[in-house]
Copies of this chain bind each other. A is one copy, B any other.
Amino acid sequence: MRRFLRHPVRLVPFGFLVPILLGTGLLMMRPATIEHQRAPFVTALFTATSAVSVTGMAATDTPNYWSGWGLVLITLLTQLGGLGILTAAALVILLVSRQLGLRNRLLVQAETQEFGIGDVGRLLRRIAVTVFACEAAMTVVVSARLWLTYDYSLGHALWAGVFHSVQAFNNGGFALYTDGLLAFARDPWVSLPLALGAIIGGLGFPALFEAVREWREPVRWAVATKLTIWGSVVLIVFGFLWLLMTEWTNPRTIGQYDMPGKALASFTQIALSRTGGFEVLDISALREESYPLLVALMFIGGGSASTAGGIKVSTFFLLAFVIWAELRGEPDVSVGHRRVANASQRQALTVALLSVALVALGTFAVILLTENIVFSQALFEVTSAFSTTGLTVGLVQRLPEGGQLLLTALMFIGRVGPLTLGSAIALNTRRRLYRHPEEQPIVG
């Protein structure tokens, strides 16, 4: 066992498993529910996994099932999960930059010049400060609004502000209301801070720090930063326009709103659909044409080394560049005057194909496990769990225990990452000392 765990990649799944099991135990204690009854094991496991993996999918009617103490637990588990992810990501960045040779280190200096090798403590401190500063800023705006306009008591407004700000910035997705944030769809003082927090939290610190530091010279950004920032802009604009168009006249979503209301609700829902997981519109009332958009956005997810899930924006757009280079007949894949290493291409390919396979298998399994189920609902719920988004068309609460356990597994796999999890299992720790002769087989 100790030998097995010697490789760092094998520690990652355990790093998530321990708080999940701890949280499950705590959530199964009587004080955690409103009725002071023991939550069933599957419900507690689902909820703890959903919180630690910052998915926010709810197997229960959150505000009417969990007690105040239960909700505090969920908040702590979400914050723990979010910080854990960011810490692990920071360590990976430092490990990678240490393993690279000097030549490569110079090339990736955009990432490493700021957090010098070995400066783990400083980096982690900086991440923690940024997280809590953003959450505090969001809390101030949201709580003030709830206190001043919605007749909340100061204490209640603060609690609701902290709860939703932590959830939004960590892309958690649990809400204190049965219908998510529907009540605030047209209130920019509540929905905009949460939407912006989710976007910033979903960029990931490597991209975020570099973009902030080098905002005057975007051409100098690293390839990963360029892909993440510009890719996110493209996805948000595209998604916003698509959702606005398809839902424009839908009376069950934004059809009754005035123009600014339509725009605000569409933008907020798109910002929160990429991995945030709050519902600003009634997801089950959307038009048929909106589902493929949301499934695609959830599947792509947010930035690398962030609390976002999915295959990641950089993976998606890197693959687009690979395909374009192949169609053009170019020998190299270039993004913004930088050649992309073959290793990165292979990694992107593996992540994307494993994810497609997992979502397909998961959808199939959910259909087999559940009666009277529509394919598109199963696909939506499975993609939402796997990408740790947490949006739901309402299927999750109808699922039998087997189906909920399956979604639990998907949240866990999606959080750890299929590549990391697969590597942890399959990794070859012996080095091969020879190379086979090369061959170029015909494919396609």
Does any Cβ of B come within 8 Å of A259's Cβ?
no
Kindly identify, within residues 217 to 241 of chain A, every residue whose CB is under 8 Å from any CB belonging to chain B.
222-224, 227
Given contacts A353-B352, A436-B339, contact A443 B312 (CB under 8 A): yes
> Could you mark each residue 284-324 of chain A with 1 if its beta carbon is under 8 Å from any beta carbon of chain B, else 0?
00001100100000000000110000011011001100111
Q: Which residues of B contact A375 (CB under 8 A)?
A: 374-376
Q: A341 within 8 Å of B by Cβ?
A: yes
Contact A426 to B312, CB < 8 A, known contacts A322-B349, A346-B322, A444-B417: no
| A35 interface hit (Cβ, 8 Å) | no
A102 at the interface (CB under 8 A from B): no
In the complex formed, the residue of B with least CB distance to A292 is: B364
Complex CA gap A439/B332 in Å reads 12
Flag if B341 contacts A427 (CB, 8 Å). Answer: no
Q: Which residues of B contact A397 (CB under 8 A)?
A: none
Asked if A305 meets B442 with Cβ closer than 8 Å, knowing A346-B345, A350-B322, A428-B328, the reply is yes
At the interface, is chain A mostly helix, strand, loop or mixed? helix
The range of chain A's interface size is 35 or more
Given A96-B442, A227-B441, A444-B315, A289:B107 Cβ within 8 A: no
Distance, CA A350 to CA B315, complexed state (A): 14
- The answer for the CA separation of A323 and B323 in the assembled complex, in Å, is 18
How many identical chains are in the complex?
2
Known contacts A327-B350, A375-B374; decide if A339 and B304 are in contact (CB<8 Å): no
| A2 on the B face (CB < 8 A) | no
| Complex partner residue of A436 from B104, B288, B334, B348, CB under 8 angstroms | B334
For A318, list chain B residues within 8 Å (CB).
441, 443
Q: In the assembly, what is the distance between CA of A416 and CA of B338, in Å?
A: 32
Q: Chain B residues near A322 (CB, 8 Å)?
A: 346, 349-350
CB pair A354 B443 closer than 8 Å = no
Chain B proximity mask over A418-433: 1 for CB below 8 Å, otherwise 0 = 0100110111100010
Considering only residues 326-359 of chain A, those with a C-beta below 8 Å from chain B are 326-335, 337-354, 356
How many whole Å from A360's CB to the nearest CB in chain B?
8
Is B438's CB under 8 angstroms from A107's CB? yes
Residues of chain B within 8 A (CB-CB) of A356 are: 356
Report how far A375 CA is from B291 CA in the complex, Å.
12
Pick from B304, B330, B344, B436: contact of A440, CB under 8 Å? B344
Q: Per-position contact with B for A200-227: 1 when CB-CB < 8 Å, else 0?
A: 0000001000000000000000111001
Sample of 12 A–B contacts (CB below 8 Å) = A92-B442, A224-B441, A288-B368, A304-B444, A305-B442, A323-B349, A329-B427, A330-B428, A332-B436, A340-B438, A345-B349, A352-B353
